[in-house]
Amino acid sequence: MLSLQAIRERPDLVRAALVSRGAELPLLDEVLTLDREWRRELGELEALRAERNETSRRMGSQVARSPEVLAHMRDLSERIKALEATVEGREAALNDRLLVLPNIPHGSVPYGTDASENKIVRQWGTPRTFDSAPKPHWELGERLGIIDFERGVKLSGSRFYVMKGLGARMERGLINLMLDMHTKEHGYTEVLPPYLVRREIMVGTGQLPKFEAEAYRTDDDMFLVPTAEVPLTNLHREEILEASALPICYTAYSPCFRREAGAAGRDTRGLKRVHQFDKVELVKFATTESSYEELESLVGDAEAVLQRLGLAYRVVLLCTGDMGFASAKTYDLEVWAPGVGEWLEVSSCSNCGDFQARRANIRYRPEPSARPEFVHTLNGSGLALPRIVIALLENGQQEDGSVRLPETLIPYVGTGMLAA
């Protein structure tokens, strides 16, 4: 959530930032109008309350308890009650508008309207070349008997799949490798969170209200997590942290559930865009001064996994028009998948500034006696599994149809070769 004070004091700067994101400017105008009306009505309410208090004080004497004064008190009470309802409704409407305004890009984010204007920051490794056309992962997975798309559809419908045999073991091995690296080498604390969360928890990280159509919701208004970022970020909801405890770094494995509303027909074959997938998530809570250094560190932690797996990848700085709703700055990590002939995003690492912290009321004290400030929250995939599986199968394929796995996975999978 954006700072209402910043919107009041620098509306032109906020407007320009939102224009760079392609946001709907009428929303900002509505916020400014509602804020003016809310403050005016709140001032009137406070004046009426002060008048009631003064009249009540004067009524302490029997002389002041005239019929006229008593009638005036009743009138004041009725007016206050009516205005309280108006102010409350105005504040709720203002809050509703604030919740759908996106975050403001950091000054280091390049201006752009879409993904074509993103900036490639660096690249690691050399994409593998083949003498003949490499096969896509769906052919490899089905031939090896490790991915069953047909039975996934039978069980749950389109864009679900089943991993089995060495495929299931490889997925589990990848999760364990990532968690081991992040906890033992990168200093994160592992968390096993709930996979069902309350509505306000989804609001806290920015999934709601904007992306409710993409979420899976139960009849009692609980939500299946679209990412472990949601419960991890809300672990410190309504808390005040000490600066000495920051940065706090968490990692968690979770299944992720997404309807992908509006994505019908886009990349729906194979594992590229599915409704349920596994992911290891990274979340940090940092001070205002250190958060962008922590973002670079978080990106490095995700890169380390790709390097350990020997996958060629590139780091892409997203432009203003391609960033996520809650992000102030985002780097995507993309791996090369020769079978589909694409660079596939496997991690999106973002600094959200105080945007999520304002929604979830997560603060810290810069000094022991200082006034609390909002923390900065960061998150990133470390990594998302389906597209890592795609890259491993397509890059590791051999002429005889087998797939060679990276040596680092052998202790987790029990073999370095997948064969039919």
Q: Which two tokens stand for residue 99?
A: 């919740």
CB 183 within 8 A of CB 251: yes
**What is d(CA 72, CA 78) in angstroms, rounded to the nearest whole number?**
10
In this structure, are strands 189-190 and 248-257 parallel, antiparallel, or unpaired? parallel
**What is d(CA 339, CA 401) in angstroms, rounded to the nearest whole number?**
13
Neighbours of 288 (CB within 10 A): 14
pLDDT digit string (tens) for 33-55?
Answer: 999 999 999 999 999 999 888 87
Give residue 59's Cα distance to chain centre. 56
Query: What confidence score (pLDDT) does residue 99 get?
Result: 96
Model confidence at 333: pLDDT above 60? yes
How does 239-257 read in b/e, with b if 16+ C-beta sit within 10 Å? eebebeebbbbbbbbbebb
Model confidence at 57: pLDDT above 80? no
pLDDT digit string (tens) for 276-331?
Answer: 999 999 999 999 999 999 999 999 999 999 999 999 999 999 999 999 999 999 99
Query: What confidence score (pLDDT) does residue 265 get?
Result: 58
Instruction: Spell out where 165-234 has E strands.
Output: 189-190, 196-198, 222-224
pLDDT tier at 63, thresholds 50, 70, 90:
low
pLDDT digit string (tens) for 198-254?
Answer: 999 999 999 999 999 999 999 999 999 999 999 999 999 999 999 999 999 999 999
In this structure, are strands 162-163 and 189-190 parallel, antiparallel, or unpaired? unpaired
**What is d(CA 87, CA 212) in angstroms, rounded to the nearest whole number?**
27
Residue with tokens 């203003």: 320
pLDDT digit string (tens) for 374-384?
Answer: 999 999 999 99
Class of 115-418 per CATH?
Answer: alpha beta
Query: What confidence score (pLDDT) does residue 267 get?
Result: 66
State pTM to two decimals.
0.92
Domain 4-98 CATH assignment equals 1.10.287.40: yes
Model confidence at 69: pLDDT above 80? no
**What is d(CA 227, CA 59) in angstroms, rounded to the nearest whole number?**
60
Residue type at position 209: P
| Averaged pLDDT for residues 328-340 | 98
**What is d(CA 396, CA 239) in angstroms, rounded to the nearest whole number?**
47
Q: Sheet harboring 373-374: ordered strands across?
A: 240-242, 363-365, 373-374
Residues facing 374 on adjacent strands:
363
Query: What confidence score (pLDDT) does residue 264 get?
Result: 57
| pLDDT, averaged across the chain | 94
Domain ranges of the chain: 4-98, 115-418
pLDDT tier at 398, thresholds 50, 70, 90:
very high
Least confident stretch, 70-74, 264-268, 315-319, 340-344: 264-268
Residue type at position 17: A
Model confidence at 262: pLDDT above 60? no
Query: What confidence score (pLDDT) does residue 74 get?
Result: 83
Please list the active-site residues.
258, 273, 345, 348, 387
**What is d(CA 321, CA 331) in angstroms, rounded to the nearest whole number?**
13
Q: Which two tokens stand for residue 210?
A: 């904007």
Query: What confidence score (pLDDT) does residue 62 get?
Result: 53
Share of the chain above pLDDT 70, in %: 96
**What is d(CA 150, CA 316) in angstroms, rounded to the nearest whole number?**
35
Q: Which two tokens stand for residue 156?
A: 């749950």
CB 54 within 8 A of CB 30: no
